[in-house]
Amino acid sequence: MDKIKQALAQNSKMQALILVLLVSVTALSVYMTAKSVIAFLLLLASLLLLYYTSFSNKVKWIIGGVMLILVIPFASSGGPAYESYMEVATQSGIYIAMALGLNIVVGFAGLLDLGFVAFFAIGAYTYGIFSTAQANHFIPGDLFPISGSAFWLFIFVGGFMAALFGVILGLPVLRVKGDYLAIVTLGFGEMIRIIFNNLEKPVNITNGAKGISSIKPPNLFGFEFTHPHQFYFIVIAILAFVIFGVKRFEHSRMGRSWKAVRENEIAAQSMGVPLIRTKLTAFAVGASFSGMMGVVFAAKQTFIDPSSFTLLESITILVMVVLGGMGSVPGVILGAALITILNLQVLTEFTNWLNQLTLQGVVHIPFALSPSKMQRFIFGAILILFAVFRPNGLISVKNRRVNEKLIQERISSASVQKVNPQSGGIAQ
Amino acid sequence: MILNILHSLPQVLIDGLALGAIYAVVALGYTMVYGILELINFAHGEIFMTGAFVGTGVLFLFQSTGWLSGMPGWVAYVLILAIAMLFTGLLGVGIERIAYKPLRKAPKLISLISAIGVSFVVQDLVRFISELRTGNYIISGITLFDKNVTIGTSSLGSWLGDASLKTNTIIIIVVAVLLMISLDFFINRTKWGVAMRAVAQDRETASLMSINVNKIIILTFFIGSALGGATGVLFAQQYGTIDPFIGYILGLKAFTAAVLGGIGNIRGAMFGGLVIGLLEMFASSNLGLLTNGSFGSEYKDVFAFMILIIVLIFKPEGLFGKAVKEKV
């Protein structure tokens, strides 16, 4: 077994062959069959396989992009299950972006945020309020609803609003650390939910528990986005932006300050890392990703109410981060995809299957045990098991290796270059 | 407006005291564990909730076997309290063994995450069991004492209204006070209590003084959780209806109480609990009045969290706690 592994690791042609085989077989079976969840999952899994191949990063990104933009939508368009496949993929994308945002706060900066879904809610409500007649209740003049073409602008407005609230939440947080912070953010998330749930008087801003309905779909030059397969491309585009951003942030000065603060606040501070700015940007950046996806979510569902933004959602995102590996970008992407698929497809399919078996009288599964109701248990168990046995998650973080030799060579060559003109100067 | 507030004041005080006593005892659990391990036991709210369910379950069991009608109410009360305390105490010890002990040397963040996991698992397990037994996870229990006494506070002055006092409320306050006094006695006067305080001060040094630190931690979890479970029973008796998700919000408020009093400080937790309970009751009955109906009692939880945030910002060591200098 090890031999095969080694041979595979060295032979990138073999890897390419296997990848092509897997993708073509699964894509074909997804295309041909009416609904095959397993084939679709395998097709998605080929992306993970791609991650483990030994191609260069550029090649990986290009192949991954082609698969996401062309292969997966095309393959799933074959059967009647098209929209449900795309729905799952779109939701995964939304959750991946949120998990990446939380990863910045928890994984990079080490600040446990248990109210993260509040930022998602803020993004969703920002678009929801202004793209329906709701805003007329508190802004004079019959200006609203705005047209769906403002959606594109609102992606940024939503992100900005969420970032703003991230900073507002961050301000008290600066004085609070560790477990206190977890509780304060938990309270914050709960406060936002209660406020959204009751803000129908004195001024009707959020329409209370009834929620906001018939939110305008996005509109691009007269083309309306209504189906999940259309939203898929919006989500992919934002996701590309988010992943690019996270990757840039991770190795930037800011990213390194976040990690320094995570490891030891006092040491980081004494090395000149500005604590306030570092923590606040972590909150703001993380929140803005979530806010952007909130706008997309509101436009996709066309209906939002406070029940979509509960503690369970916050914990779900936390589970994604912990499962994948705190601080590890590929890990968090994997974790978010796994949990979303587990939630939306595996658990529902499994429940349906069990229900059928119960109906046929093969086995008797009590209603209380139906897998789709066991979410909390599964999430809790994942959190405990991973905390105890694998705190680094599925794909643990790899810090960028510093090639010492290369740096030393560079330094010495640089100093040689510097020395030469100087010695020339002395000779003069 | 002030007249209206004054009119409802006696009732608010009584309800607030009952609620505050509940918060205070739950807060003790937070404070004890924090004092020893410097870990917020996130699952403590769930232990409280489990206590409520165990108590109600045992009552149902008594009823189905016909024992309940055969024994006086107070015997049943004492029995369910004892069973629930034993059960939740062991549950707390089990949680410590599985989810916290392996992580004692791990970074804080990891043990916090494990604690959140525990609280979710316990919630769902209780939901599952109660739904399996009764078909619904929201349970209306049996109330043992449901007499109502009217206190004629209005005779003190015409501006005061009457208050009604449930027998249960008296029981809650009495039992809570008893629990708090015995805990205070236990911690300050017994050998075990001294050992507990020593471990809280400095775990390493305490272990050098021939104190079995592991045993002390287990004991702390047992006592804290048993107190939480007992409060669960009191809560179920007072408010009648329970569901598996009551623990989380009540736990948050009890934690607020612990922080307000100074976390790690037993007497502070008691005081904080009473303050939070009274404030919350006051807010829930008067917020609408004070803001001319624009913000109703549904904002009372927001109110509690505001207190938490304000305390943490301006006086993180709490009212009675000592400020801890961070070691570098």
Based on DSSP, count helices (H) and strands (E) in chain B, helices before strands: 12, 4
A184/chain B closest Cα distance in angstroms: 7
> Which of A192, A200, A263, A377 to mutate to probe the B interface, most B CBs <10 Å?
A377
Nearest to B282 by CA among B265, B252, B307, B261: B307
Spatial separation of the C-alpha atoms in residues A392 and A325, rounded to whole Å = 5
pLDDT tens digit sequence for A304-361:
888 888 888 898 899 899 888 888 888 899 999 888 888 877 888 888 888 888 878 7
Angle between helices A151-173 and B300-314 in degrees, nearest 10 = 50
Which amino acid is present at A66? V
Kindly state the average pLDDT of the residues A24-53.
78
Please indicate if any CB of chain B lies within 8 Å of the CB of A108.
Answer: no
Task: DSSP for B75-137, please give it.
Answer: HHHHHHHHHHHHHHHHHHHHHIIIIIGGGTTS-HHHHHHHHHHHHHHHHHHHHHHHHHHHS-S
Please return the burial class of A356, using the count of CB atoms within 10 Å of its CB with bins 0-12, 13-18 and 19+: exposed
Please indicate if any CB of chain A lies within 8 Å of the CB of B103.
Answer: yes
Place of tokens 């003084």: B209
Nearest to A154 by CA among A305, A292, A302: A292
- CA-derived radius of gyration, chain B: 20
Spatial separation of the C-alpha atoms in residues B292 and B90, rounded to whole Å = 49
Spatial separation of the C-alpha atoms in residues A193 and A304, rounded to whole Å = 12
Task: DSSP for B162-218, please give it.
Answer: PEEEEHHHHHHHHHHHHHHHHHHHHHHHSHHHHHHHHHHH-HHHHHHTT--HHHHHH
Q: What is the pLDDT of residue A425?
A: 42
Nearest to A304 by CA among A224, A197, A404: A197
In this prediction, residue B324 has a pLDDT band, given cuts at 50, 70 and 90, of low
Residues 270-299 of B with CB under 8 A from A: 293-296, 298-299
> Which of A176, A266, A388 to mutate to probe the B interface, most B CBs <10 Å?
A388
pTM of this prediction? Answer: 0.87
Residues paired with residue A212 on neighbouring β-strands, in sequence order: A304
Spatial separation of the C-alpha atoms in residues A111 and A117, rounded to whole Å = 15
Query: SS3 for B31?
Result: helix
Place of tokens 């790690």: B264
Which amino acid is present at B36? I
Sign of the alpha-carbon dihedral angle for B123, B125, B126, B128: positive
Q: A–B: how many Cβ contacts below 8 A?
A: 139
Strands B241-242 and B139-140: antiparallel
Kindly state the average pLDDT of the residues A104-133.
88
Spatial separation of the C-alpha atoms in residues B10 and B151, rounded to whole Å = 9
- The gap from C-alpha B268 to its chain's centroid, in whole angstroms, comes to 14
A326/chain B closest Cα distance in angstroms: 10
Q: Kindly report the average pLDDT of chain A as a whole number.
A: 82
CB contact under 8 A, A387 and B103: yes
In this prediction, residue B140 has a pLDDT band, given cuts at 50, 70 and 90, of confident
Q: What is the pLDDT of residue A426?
A: 43
CB contact under 8 A, B111 and A387: yes
More confident residue, A423 or B279: B279
Spatial separation of the C-alpha atoms in residues B216 and A235, rounded to whole Å = 53
Question: B230 is written with which tokens?
Answer: 């007992």
pLDDT tens digit sequence for A402-419:
778 888 888 887 766 655
CB contact under 8 A, A190 and B309: no
In this prediction, residue B53 has a pLDDT band, given cuts at 50, 70 and 90, of very high
Q: Which residues of A touch B112 (CB under 8 A)?
A: 112, 178-179, 182
Q: What is the pLDDT of residue B325?
A: 55
Q: What is the pLDDT of residue A424?
A: 45
Q: Please measure the distance between the N-terminal and C-terminal CA atoms of chain A and give it in whole angstroms.
A: 69
Q: Which residues of B touch A176 (CB under 8 A)?
A: 312-313, 316
CB contact under 8 A, B301 and A190: yes
Choice among A70-84, A122-136, A145-159, B55-69 with the minimum mean pLDDT: A70-84
Residues paired with residue B166 on neighbouring β-strands, in sequence order: B148
Please indicate if any CB of chain A lies within 8 Å of the CB of B324.
Answer: no
Choice among A41-50, B302-311, B318-327 with the minimum mean pLDDT: B318-327
Q: Which residues of B touch A388 (CB under 8 A)?
A: 98-99, 102-103, 114
Please indicate if any CB of chain B lies within 8 Å of the CB of A212.
Answer: no
CB contact under 8 A, B120 and A383: yes
> What are the backbone dihedrals phi and psi of residue A304, each rounded to the nearest 5 degrees, phi first?
-135, 145
Kindly state the average pLDDT of the residues B289-312.
77
Element (H, E) at B151: strand B148-151
Q: Check pLDDT > 80 for residue B113.
A: yes
Spatial separation of the C-alpha atoms in residues B100 and B111, rounded to whole Å = 6
- The gap from C-alpha B260 to its chain's centroid, in whole angstroms, comes to 14
Residues whose CB is less than 8 angstroms from the CB of residue A43 and which lie 6 or more positions away in sequence, other chains included: A23, A26, A27, A30, A71, A72, A75
Residues whose CB is less than 8 angstroms from the CB of residue A249 and which lie 6 or more positions away in sequence, other chains included: A104, A108, A255, A285
Residues 137-156 of B with CB under 8 A from A: none
More confident residue, A177 or B189: B189
Q: What is the pLDDT of residue A427?
A: 43
Given a contact cutoff of 8 angstroms between Cβ atoms, the answer to whether A37 and A44 are in contact is no
CB contact under 8 A, A184 and B116: no
Please indicate if any CB of chain B lies within 8 Å of the CB of A387.
Answer: yes
Spatial separation of the C-alpha atoms in residues A262 and A279, rounded to whole Å = 10
Residues whose CB is less than 8 angstroms from the CB of residue A165 and which lie 6 or more positions away in sequence, other chains included: A118, A119, A122, A287
B85/chain A closest Cα distance in angstroms: 24
Q: Check pLDDT > 90 for residue B222.
A: yes
Q: What is the pLDDT of residue A347?
A: 82
Please return the burial class of A34, using the count of CB atoms within 10 Å of its CB with bins 0-12, 13-18 and 19+: exposed
> Which of B100, B103, B116 to mutate to probe the A interface, most A CBs <10 Å?
B116
Which amino acid is present at A305? D
Residue of chain B whose Cα is closest to the Cα of A186: B252
- Which of A120-124, A201-205, A344-348, B155-159 is the most confident on average? A120-124
Spatial separation of the C-alpha atoms in residues B170 and B306, rounded to whole Å = 30
In this prediction, residue A160 has a pLDDT band, given cuts at 50, 70 and 90, of very high
% of chain A at pLDDT higher than 70: 94
Q: Kindly report the average pLDDT of chain B as a whole number.
A: 84
Please indicate if any CB of chain B lies within 8 Å of the CB of A169.
Answer: no
Question: A414 is written with which tokens?
Answer: 């640089």
Q: What is the pLDDT of residue A417?
A: 60
Nearest to B80 by CA among B4, B139, B141, B140: B141
Given a contact cutoff of 8 angstroms between Cβ atoms, the answer to whether A121 and A346 are in contact is no
Q: What is the pLDDT of residue A428?
A: 41
pLDDT tens digit sequence for B7-25:
778 888 888 888 899 999 8
Residues 362-381 of A with CB under 8 A from B: 366-369, 374-377, 379-381
Q: Which residues of A touch B109 (CB under 8 A)?
A: 106, 110, 112, 178, 326
Kindly state the average pLDDT of the residues B312-327.
70
Considering only the beta carbons, identify the residue of B124, B255, B294 that sits closest to A202: B294
The answer for B133, left when phi > 0, alpha when psi is -120 to 50, beta otherwise, is alpha
pLDDT tens digit sequence for A63-96:
888 878 877 777 777 777 777 888 888 888 999 9
% of chain A at pLDDT higher than 90: 9
Q: What is the pLDDT of residue A422?
A: 47
B251/chain A closest Cα distance in angstroms: 10
Query: SS3 for A158?
Result: helix
pLDDT tens digit sequence for A277-312:
888 999 999 999 999 999 989 888 888 888 888 888
Choice among A157-161, A189-193, A196-200, B222-226 with the minimum mean pLDDT: A196-200
Beta carbons within 10 angstroms of residue B140's beta carbon: 12
Kindly state the average pLDDT of the residues A32-60.
78
